[in-house]
Amino acid sequence: MRIIRTKNYQDMSQKAANVVFSTIILKPDCLLGLATGGTPVGMYQVLADRYVMGDLDFKSVKTVNLDEYVGLSEDHPQSYRYFMMENLFSKINIDRANTYLPNGLAEDSEAECENYEEVITKLGGVDLQVLGIGNNGHIGFNEPADVFDKQTHVVKLTENTRQANARFFDSIEQVPTDAITMGIKTIMKARAIILLASGEGKKEILKEALLGPITPKVPASVLQLHPNLIVVADEAALSLIPS
Ligand code: F6R
């Protein structure tokens, strides 16, 4: 595990963007695994800026997102497809056909999960997976559990996660109850993983995830077993982890 300690959120975003940048430079047709949430927004902005400056070309890049809410259409402002369009895809020259998210409106969600695994395999596997970490240690929507969920699956969101995400909706009632998420095994198959974290609010869970026991009660703790994990986090998030 490599830990890149940054001054603040902006610095984290710059350094994380540099890791994505080098992945694209080294492999212009790479498959990026992407995350939504507040943490990677700054990194996406830096990547979009580097595209505008002419430093980066996304024309052969492919992306698969970690997760999507069940029941929200692509044009729902809180769907993760919409988020990705707003924060990245509409700002760069990526081919929309090369961007994949689970279909939250699929009639058969289980079949959609299988289909998503096949998509990732057919695309050659994820070269770099971007992750944030939930307050309860979730990655993607893999919530604390008794066992590590493996493949892409449908998940019932915990109250903790629904409350954390309610800030993006008008009320908590509007937060979907289910989502489709890559599983832990799906995530761990990525050739490299970059975990982002920022702010005081993440310091306890980041310490548990990186230094605590590996347990499905803290899903992110499994990342300790990944051979190529890069943690890019700011001082506040890393304040309980000695440098
Ligand atoms: C997002 C995702 C989630 C978030 C996590 C942290 O696609 O899968 O696991 O990464 O909830 O969210 P933020 O960044 O909002 O703290």
pLDDT for 243 equals: 86
Nearest-CA residue for atom 12 of ligand 1: 37
Dig out the tokens for 209 from the structure: 């995830």
Q: How confident is the model at residue 219 (pLDDT cuts 50, 70, 90)?
A: very high
Q: How confident is the model at residue 118 (pLDDT cuts 50, 70, 90)?
A: very high
- Dihedral (Cα; 224, 228, 229, 232), 10-degree rounding: 160
CA of 75 to the centre of ligand 1 (A): 20
CB 99 within 8 A of CB 89: yes
CA of 212 to the centre of ligand 1 (A): 20
pLDDT for 184 equals: 97
Cβ of residue 179 lying under 6 Å from some atom of ligand 1: no
pLDDT for 132 equals: 98
18-37 mean pLDDT = 98
Beta bridge pairs of residue 195:
131, 231
Distance between CA atoms of 139 and 228, rounded to whole angstroms? 16
Dig out the tokens for 179 from the structure: 């989502």
Cβ of residue 140 lying under 6 Å from some atom of ligand 1: yes
Closest to 41 in 3D by CA, of 94, 80, 98, 96: 80
Is residue 149 predicted with pLDDT exceeding 80?
A: no
3-class SS string, the chain: CEEEEECCHHHHHHHHHHHHHHHHHHCCCCEEEECCCCCCHHHHHHHHHHHHCCCCCCCCCEEEECEEECCCCCCCCCCHHHHHHHHCHHHCCCCHHHEECCCCCCCCHHHHHHHHHHHHHHCCCCCEEEECCCCCCCECCECCCCCCCCCCEEEECCHHHHHHHHHHCCCHHHCCCEEEECCHHHHHCCCEEEEEECCHHHHHHHHHHHHCCCCCCCHHHHHHHCCCEEEEEECCCCCCCCC
What single letter denotes the amino acid at residue 35?
Answer: A
Q: How confident is the model at residue 144 (pLDDT cuts 50, 70, 90)?
A: very high
Give pLDDT tens digits for 160-194: 889 988 988 999 999 999 999 999 999 999 999 99
Give pLDDT tens digits for 194-218: 999 999 999 999 999 999 999 999 9
pLDDT for 150 equals: 86
Q: How confident is the model at residue 8 (pLDDT cuts 50, 70, 90)?
A: very high
pTM, full prediction: 0.96
pLDDT for 164 equals: 85
Cβ of residue 134 lying under 6 Å from some atom of ligand 1: yes
CA of 210 to the centre of ligand 1 (A): 17
pLDDT for 161 equals: 83
Cβ of residue 35 lying under 6 Å from some atom of ligand 1: yes
The CA distances from residue 158 to 49, 75, 128, in Å, are 36, 25, 27
What single letter denotes the amino acid at residue 91?
Answer: K
Nearest-CA residue for atom 2 of ligand 1: 140
CA of 161 to the centre of ligand 1 (A): 9
Cβ of residue 137 lying under 6 Å from some atom of ligand 1: no
Give pLDDT tens digits for 48-105: 999 999 999 999 999 999 999 999 999 999 999 999 999 999 999 999 999 999 999 9
Which residues are catalytically annotated? 67, 136, 138, 143
Nearest-CA residue for atom 11 of ligand 1: 134
* 171-175 own/partner pairs: CB under 8 Å, 24+ apart: 174/78
